[in-house]
Structure 1
């Protein structure tokens, strides 16, 4: 990461949400704010009026509150891909970026027009994986798309001592299939003496402890752009088996990750028990998983890509205006999106 420069007077405002539990997507926004602040930029996380600062935010992440905020001609507004509504400009005339953390969610608020998103000034776009960048560039060739990769936190997610075999997973993206897999694992005689841990609404520290003591992480991602839980499981030294979710396929290039075809629950079950049976001989592979992911998703790489993307965004024109927080359009997503996203 480059050394800090003199503090800038221009602002970079990230529109985000105050989730009660830790959110991987919002956490990425806070990381961007921290990286930009360290480089001398006046970066802020912008939360809607009435929100409370979540307790899981780091203390050095500054927050603005308000349903509407003024945006200067020298400022940059960064908004999430959801809810981006065709023709509803959150800051008419402003210099904007859509930070697209999941290309599958880009049009969650409705069918796009040919000029998507139909704003006064076309935004730039940032993506978190090469797959996502390439998909967005092909779908929206009139918008520039930059790659700003995620950071994988190897300090928080690290192997810990364990006295027994453990399998863990998140059910949120595939609740029905997770219920089926839970029974398949529990009812198999090979599960004797194995901890089966379903992680639901756990604080981040508890997730890190669970992954750090797990032997196998069951990947149940769906419609992913990256798949941060898989990356964190690799950093924690887990063997990984399951679904890459599409955009997360790059993570399954890790030495100890087994990609399973969709809708093959028995194959997934048998792969998990095979890995448990071979866990001793695969100890070196687990260590290689951690080394592999931490070599690729570093703070320095993200900082360099982010600063380059910001520099490019500031070459685009902008004018002073008033911005509306994207929370104003959350109701366009509907219960189906919020239940499965």
Structure 2
């Protein structure tokens, strides 16, 4: 009987997965990329962005880059599908438009993510595009073999922008002829900072990243009696500012990622003064430094449990052990990934990219 129930359960799950896949394909077929063969009066940069209600670090970055461009006199918009849609899980007054109102002309640049390059097959030649790749490991998820053409020697490709040294290295290796640049993301120092209050013995993690691993780690630590006097909190379903508030009350953060383009949660935890233990996801390798963090290979539960137990022991034996390393991590993150550095990078690269479009426009006129 149990075997029959299991087989029925497997069939039901398979059916739901197939239905979800069909629904996803239909949804993507409905996505629009509005274009015009004309030349616009003012060159504009449009960032094609999903209509996504939930928290997404990548979408927040897009909104911020649009803000930066408009602040330096470059006209830019977040381009959503649904009329009137705007992400509201974080405060913003970003310039937003939709596919019913806007058209991308031959004077403009259409920016698409690594997950939307398949939509470029729907736009006519002569429309300039730029790929904003925030996670090089997702490059082929929707593009497949199409990626070689879109990232390669394509006359409509203005450039590729990415967000970490690892991403840039991987993309340059895959597409050696492609113009690939890296911008430094920023960590908001008004939200993510150590604060001044005393911290309880508290460990944090994000369950949407490695939920099963987290359960094993916590239960193993509890079984060994290591968590006595310590609290473990899951940061889930919180607004951006609420995550920052929580991270200023914790001493240790468990990073349970796999392949990250950058790794914002770990960087934000460090900025708040946490000792971070776990996986850098490759993209975060540049800031997972041994002076203030502990790197563990993805999936190595035993190593992560041992590293967490060692940190707990050190903090209990030496007052301020986590605090001192957290402060060093925060200083490094806030200096290396400052808003001014991101602003300078974005301003420099997009001005160069836009300049490459202007000669074609002038020639056409």
Of 53, 58, 61, the match for 2:86: 53
Aligned to 1:237: 273
Query: 1:117 Cα shift?
Result: 5.1
Of 149, 168, 172, the match for 1:115: 149
CA displacement, residues 250-305 of structure 1 (integer Å, 9 cap, x when unaligned): 11126311101233212211211221232324222211111111110111111111
CA distance in 2, matches of 1:35, 1:170: 29
CA displacement, residues 66-99 of structure 1 (integer Å, 9 cap, x when unaligned): 2684112222211111032287144642121100
Could you say if the C-alpha distance between residues 260 and 67 of structure 1 is closer, same or farther in structure 2, counting changes exceeding 3 Å? farther
CA displacement, residues 26-72 of structure 1 (integer Å, 9 cap, x when unaligned): 01011101111111111111111256322234332111022684112
Runs of 4+, deviation exceeding 6 Å: none
User: What is the root-mean-square deviation of aligned Cα atoms in Å?
Assistant: 2.3
Q: Per residue, is there more helix in 1 or in 2?
A: 2
Aligned to 1:174: 210
Q: Within the alignment, does 1:125 sit opposite 2:160 as a pair?
A: yes
Query: 1:316 Cα shift?
Result: 3.0
Aligned to 2:351: 311
CA distance in 2, matches of 1:175, 1:156: 25
Gaps of 5+ in 1: 1-7, 321-341
CA displacement, residues 147-184 of structure 1 (integer Å, 9 cap, x when unaligned): 11101112101224245211111122323322322322
Aligned to 1:285: 325
Query: 1:120 Cα shift?
Result: 6.6
Greater mean deviation of Cα atoms: 124-133 or 17-26:
17-26
Gaps of 5+ in 2: 1-40
TM-score (normalizing by structure 2): 0.79
CA distance in 1, matches of 2:204, 2:92: 30
TM-score (normalizing by structure 1): 0.84
Q: Secondary structure at the match of 1:85?
A: helix
Aligned to 1:141: 176
CA distance in 1, matches of 2:74, 2:120: 30
Could you say if the C-alpha distance between residues 314 and 254 of structure 1 is closer, same or farther in structure 2, counting changes exceeding 3 Å? farther
Q: Within the alignment, does 1:30 sit opposite 2:70 as a pair?
A: no
